[in-house]
Amino acid sequence: VIKCEKICMIGTFRYHSKYLHQPFDEIFAFFKIATDGRPGTESIKMFFHESDSSFPAFRKQIRDYVPIGGPVPLDIAMSHEYENGGGPPYPRVYLVQRFRHQPFEDVVKFYTLPSLLPLLLFFTAKDGAGSYDSTVETIALSSGLILADVALLFVNKSPTMTFSEQSLLFNLAYLILGTVSCSAISMSQVESLSHVYNVCLYVFISLSVVLAGLMAIVHRAIATRSNDAIAKYLNERNFKILNDLV
């Protein structure tokens, strides 16, 4: 009986996460330990001793991803018989480690800043609310904010529409709609609407922050629910449902 006290592996890995869930995505890293099928390897017996297997490398942060819990042994098989008979049997072990993305930087970039930038519109509404000059300043500033959001869309290059991009698009649509509505009220020739313009602009800016926060909470909940389901089916070894889920 040979007990393996320590195995060190250094490798370069490419990972794949669910693009839709960015920046709340997670990684399920699978590791396979197997023999190469040489004569005699079919007699090797592999066992997973939980209290004696620490896996210290799996507990370290990888770029923006932090491990959740310890590695889970998915399958420990003494031999693997190919269905088509295309190879010799060999013992192998499958392990999976769950990593969660730390979303702070992306949340600030795609949720917080786009919702806080409209606060600058307060300065245009502070004096002369509803006047022609104030309206022009509001439209000019709002146009600059829209261009800033459009520029952020080109920063996040992904093959599908992510939660981050959905937040930006919502903020763009909300900013355009709010600016047009406030400007329409301001350009009407009724002087009594100047107060309404001021109130509408303040409500519009406040809702921008509130809606961005709600969107971040909803996106986080959707991503967490999906990833928890994946982890559940992995622990249950229910690979049939897992294939449909992924």
Reported as a single tens digit per residue, the pLDDT across 123-166 is: 665 555 556 666 677 777 778 888 888 887 777 677 788 898 89
The CB density around residue 161, as the number of other CB atoms within 10 Å, is: 11
Supply 21's token pair. 């869930």
Average pLDDT, the chain: 76
Query: What pLDDT is attached to residue 246?
Result: 64
Which range scores top for mean pLDDT: 21-25, 180-184, 230-234?
A: 21-25
Looking at the predicted structure, is the pLDDT value of residue 37 above 90? no
Averaged over 195-220, what is the pLDDT? 82
Query: What pLDDT is attached to residue 217?
Result: 94
Query: What pLDDT is attached to residue 222?
Result: 94
Among the residue ranges 28-32, 36-40, 124-128, 169-173, the one predicted with the least confidence is 124-128
Looking at the predicted structure, is the pLDDT value of residue 100 above 80? yes
Residues near 127 by beta carbon (within 8 Å), at least 6 away in sequence: 134
Can you tell me which residue has the tokens 């520029």? Answer: 151
* pTM, entire model: 0.74
Looking at the predicted structure, is the pLDDT value of residue 190 above 60? no
Looking at the predicted structure, is the pLDDT value of residue 80 above 60? no
Among the residue ranges 26-35, 40-49, 163-172, 205-214, the one predicted with the least confidence is 40-49
Q: CB of 48 within 8 A of CB of 76? A: yes
| DSSP annotation of 60 | S
Rg of the chain over Cα atoms, rounded to whole angstroms, equals: 27
Counting residues of the chain whose pLDDT is more than 70, the rounded percentage is 65
Supply 242's token pair. 């897992």
Strand order, beta sheet including 92-101:
26-34, 92-101, 65-77
Looking at the predicted structure, is the pLDDT value of residue 83 above 70? no
Angle at 181 between CA 178 and CA 184, to 5 degrees: 145
Query: What pLDDT is attached to residue 224?
Result: 92
